[in-house]
A = this chain, B = another copy of it.
Amino acid sequence: MELNRSEKDFLMQAIETASANISDGGGPFGAVVVMEGKVISRSGNRVISEHDPTAHAELLAIRMAAAALGTHDLSDCVIYSSCEPCPMCLGAIYWSGIRRVVYASDRYRAASAGFNDEMIYSELALDSGSRSIAMDRALTDEGDRVFSLWDNYPGKILY
């Protein structure tokens, strides 16, 4: 799609963050969170350097934006990413309330560079018994009871 000049600039910032991140010991990914035309946060991928499998560029940029704004609700923000977000990061985008993602490369190019994004998308679409990881269910009644406690808890805040 055709971006306007500032949108193009934000996406280029995400791409340049990704490029710079490689020689900085990170993976080839970058993301920028923008609100009302201003950059709120920017991050590269820090999985290896921070010993954190969740330290993808988008997830870190979301965490940094939420911390900067003092709320878990980023529904006024747009996220720009050098690559199509993986399922973990896209899940984080939904939970944050972000309503628009602008990205450049995609899961297939990421796969050819050695990243499992496409495999994880395929796995999530399977039912839990058909996945490559074992998913075992037990203590169903005890687990459901936690939600009954929540349903009846007067102080709950939905998110």
Please list the residues of chain A having a beta carbon within 8 angstroms of any beta carbon in chain B: 1-3, 7-8, 11-12, 15, 18-19, 22-23, 25, 27-30, 47-48, 51-56, 59, 62-63, 66-67, 69-74, 82-84, 86-106, 109-110, 112-114, 116, 119-121, 123-125, 128, 133-140, 142-147, 149-151, 153, 155-159
With A99-B134, A104-B137 given, can you name 11 additional A-B contacts, CB distance below 8 Å? A2-B138, A23-B155, A28-B150, A53-B97, A94-B120, A105-B143, A106-B137, A109-B147, A110-B147, A112-B147, A124-B125
Cβ-closest 10 pairs across A and B: A104-B143, A88-B91, A105-B143, A28-B150, A53-B96, A87-B91, A113-B147, A53-B72, A100-B134, A53-B95
Roughly how many angstroms separate A109 CA and B123 CA in the complex, as a whole number?
A: 22
